[in-house]
Structure 1
Amino acid sequence: MSGVRPFVRADIPPVADLHRRVFSSRSPARREARDAHEAYFSELYFGNAWCAEASPSLVWEDGRGAVAGFLGVTTRAMSLGGQALRAAVTSQFMVDAEARRRAPLAAVELVKALLAGPQDLTLADEATEPARRLWEGLGGATALLLSLQWARVLRPARFAVSRLAARNRLGRLARGAAPLCRPADGLAARMPSSPFALTATSLRAEDLDAATLRDCIAEAAADTALRPEYDERSLKWLLEVLAGKRGCGGFHRTGLRDDAGRLVGWYLAHLAPGGTGEVLQVGARGGALAPVLDHLFARAWQLGVDVLYGRVEPARLRQLSERGCVFHHRGHWMLVHSGVPGVLEAIHRGDAFLTRLEGEWCLRFQGEHS
């Protein structure tokens, strides 16, 4: 009989194979690829710092007992006004195409089982439009503002050419324009009146350790009603996972000090030369975000990044806009569900500290792109 049950270690090979079929290729995987997939599911769902038996990941079995659906769950400690909460963060929601045809309610059953769990808050921050409709149909909500992202174009010419090159009919035009990109982008970055101009900063960079980052997050989130509660062990594990990702650029966990040696801000980002930069978190002490953004943008430029993306934080809309950022919906939705009074209200009014560090992006399989 088909149905949903908890994900156990013995399910790792079939779930890894399901992931490869759904997101990668239907052709047989080489041994190295199979090993990488299986190691990912083992480490993320059984070796992570937030393993919780009460909120397991879920699989859907078809009538023959074969695993044909999966919904990953990792838990996070959070708090609302001092009240301890347990959040469940979803990842890798997938159902085999044949299973969807034979059992169209498989995805519904997985989400219903998830939302019936004991967690206080459920988050899905990289949901597709079909997943959004399903979620809302089962009583969940969409956090519209947190579904927006900011973008800061650093190399406008090369960024435009890369967009043209992605269109088959315009590929020749893009190749012809490519030699002009470097001088055009250099001029755009240097001209004071340019919307792409970079601002120099005297801040000094250093690598952040887990303990310092924990303290920074705690201080930055202190004035928000809903916030994450990290410990050094969990942050260290998460930073190691991020540093080990391949295919999305080098991972930068950067603390910034002023001329007096005081730590004034930080950022966490994957920066890919010749491509995109994904900003997971950016913070500042005392509200001085502008120089932190300036340092991030200049560093990304030096490394050859074309464009940076990050999640919109309502309290920072003005500061981001003043630094040349634009806001758009990138195709993913932030979905939320909670029965605890005050949780959803805090999220919808922008009184929650929810960055990409608290979401699914960190949990992606290496090589998965935005």
Structure 2
Amino acid sequence: MNEKMQSQTLELWNNNPSGSSAALQIKELKNEDLEGVAHLHREVFSDPHALPSSGALQAFYKSVFLDSPFASKASPSLVAMEGGAVKGFVGVLTREFALAGEKIFIGIGSRFMVAPSVSGLVAASLLRRAARSKIDVFFTDGANEFGGASMRALGGVEIPLYGIQWFKVLRPFRFLSSFVKNRSSILGQLCSGISRPLDLMAGPLLAPVGNASGEWEDLSPKDIVELCGSSSSLYSLVPQYQTFEVEWLLDFCDKSSRRGRFFSKKLPLSEASFGGIVGFLRPNGIFEILNLWVPGKRIAEGFKALLSFAYSHGAVAVQGRMDDLFFSSLRGEKVIMKHGSWVFACGKNKAAIDAIQKGKALMGGLEGELWLPSARHGHT
């Protein structure tokens, strides 16, 4: 993290403790701001010709930050206005959690962006205001360098565990051939041509042991609510979902077609029990795990079932966020670890932040913002 940037951010706030200026207004996101937010999105992210249309972006921001079950009047998404134009935005999605039986609210920061033409005060003021709304913890799991510096200046702490991505290769030859970017070259054609038969020959040695029947039942919203509820014996901080909230999330993910094929499936385990998996099989063949739920006594079995599911659906590799609960299973499967994105938390509930820091929180992709598509792709 850039200490100079953090110092500059802190200095900005100290020089402007109210978080505003005569020219700057920070207010709750409204329908009339959507066109300006869409314009800002296209200005901030490169190659506007590859981005969704203004209409598609407006529909995306309305659906997620105004109309979703997680849009809260108590901790709304915010826009920064300057000269009548939208110059900054931070989305806030409020989630209910249980901490040792106590109800708390965590605000998930998302789509934090400011116009290149404005000062750092706009960004600092936006984030400060969002973090001080009526929530117990403010959480970001996709912070860039400035966002990270701003969170540190707020007194936020980095969560190294959730910033780690694990990676398990299932079909090594096809996985390696995917790195040959120019498929039309002689090398690209050679790699593409031989990788599949090589993986087929190696299949009996590499295929994960798991569900041999190949039958995978759908995981319903009600199943997910029950799996989260039963996770209270494994985690001290657990999401409290209503069935309609999970229905909305699954429907949204299912419509994110550019991201790949969406799955919400049961993982059959011994003694008539089951776990659950939610994720995307991306066009590049990598199965991206959003959430994995497994009963406490079935963790190793559940992880093998996950690998079996991904392999049976043609995945070349599996990728997911680190979870302390699965560390032993991950180590046993010889996965690759890499740094993903910066994850931060700040707020008044120190016990909740401590649980997140120690990996004692059920914070999967559905709980943070990893279920959202890339900022460059919009909704579909």
* Structure 2 length-normalised TM: 0.86
Assess, with a 3 A threshold, how the Cα gap between structure 1 residues 187 and 321 changes in structure 2: closer, same or farther.
farther
Aligned partner of residue 209 in structure 2, secondary structure: coil
C-alpha separation in 2, matches of 1:263 and 1:367 = 40
2:241 to 218, 230, 234: 230
Assess, with a 3 A threshold, how the Cα gap between structure 1 residues 171 and 218 changes in structure 2: closer, same or farther.
farther
**Would you say 1:316 and 2:338 are equivalent positions?**
no
Match of 2:232 in 1: 221
2:200 to 161, 164, 186: 186
**Would you say 1:148 and 2:164 are equivalent positions?**
yes
2:126 to 68, 90, 110: 110
Match of 1:16 in 2: 38
- Note the C-alpha offset of 1:24: 5.2
Match of 1:333 in 2: 342
Code of the aligned partner of 1:266: G
**Would you say 1:88 and 2:102 are equivalent positions?**
no
Match of 2:3 in 1: none
**Would you say 1:48 and 2:51 are equivalent positions?**
no
C-alpha separation in 2, matches of 1:323 and 1:92 = 34
Q: Is contact 2:269–2:302 with CA below 8 Å preserved after alignment?
A: no
CA RMSD of aligned residues (A): 2.5
Match of 1:139 in 2: 155
Match of 2:258 in 1: 247
Q: Is contact 1:189–1:198 with CA below 8 Å preserved after alignment?
A: no
Code of the aligned partner of 2:29: F
Q: Is contact 1:145–1:312 with CA below 8 Å preserved after alignment?
A: yes
Q: Is contact 2:269–2:298 with CA below 8 Å preserved after alignment?
A: no
Q: Is contact 1:75–1:86 with CA below 8 Å preserved after alignment?
A: yes
Code of the aligned partner of 2:104: L
Match of 2:291 in 1: 281
**CA offset digits 1:262-305 (Å, max 9, x no partner):** 23211111112543221011122243133333333233233332
C-alpha separation in 2, matches of 1:56 and 1:13 = 18
**Would you say 1:304 and 2:304 are equivalent positions?**
no
Assess, with a 3 A threshold, how the Cα gap between structure 1 residues 19 and 366 changes in structure 2: closer, same or farther.
closer
Moved over 6 A (4+): none
**CA offset digits 1:241-282 (Å, max 9, x no partner):** 11111111111110133576x232111111125432210111
**Would you say 1:120 and 2:136 are equivalent positions?**
yes
**Would you say 1:59 and 2:68 are equivalent positions?**
no
1:198 to 197, 208, 215: 208
C-alpha separation in 2, matches of 1:79 and 1:125 = 20
Q: Is contact 1:78–1:85 with CA below 8 Å preserved after alignment?
A: yes
Match of 2:48 in 1: 26
Match of 1:4 in 2: 26
Moved more, 136-145 or 32-41: 32-41
C-alpha separation in 1, matches of 2:376 and 2:176 = 23
Q: Which runs of 5+ in 1 are unaligned?
A: none
**Would you say 1:35 and 2:55 are equivalent positions?**
yes
Q: Is contact 2:231–2:238 with CA below 8 Å preserved after alignment?
A: no
Aligned partner of residue 77 in structure 1, secondary structure: strand
